[in-house]
Amino acid sequence: METLSAKQQQVALLMSSGEGVSAVAEASGISRVTVHQWLKEDDAFNAYLNGLKLEIINSGMATIQSSVILAIQTITTMMVESGSDAVRLNCAKEILNRAGISQANPIGSDDLATLQLTRSLGSFG
């Protein structure tokens, strides 16, 4: 893997956090043309930038997923403790809908070979 300069790493870090080309160029002391050139032509730079973006997305997803349990507990508490039949019914419906029980969306295979075969066959279609 190619080694990126400290300046490229700085630019990628700023861009991965949502900064635009102009702001990144100014903050890094380089021209916008240079940043655009890296984005268009430098695969190592783009791979690093994409990796940083994926880390941010994965971190965000982990945060969201950890909040799911709290959300379920909140809805369950409302369903059990509310004095209103309408609230209890709506909470129950929400839990069923979110769990996918009220929909016919089957879970995919948990067999790696099956998933790989399905993916490879799908690429021919």
Which pLDDT does position 97 carry in this prediction? Answer: 84
Work out the angle between the directed axes of helices 32-41 and 43-81 (0-180°, nearest 10).
Answer: 90
In the numeric block, which tokens belong to residue 9? 């790493």
In the numeric block, which tokens belong to residue 35? 């940043």
Under 8 Å between Cβ of 48 and 4: yes
Q: Quickly count helices (H) and strands (E) in the chain.
A: 6, 0
CA torsion through residues 44, 47, 53, 55, sign: negative
Mean pLDDT by groups of 10 residues along the chain of 125 residues: 88 95 96 96 94 92 88 91 93 83 66 85 66
Under 8 Å between Cβ of 48 and 8: yes
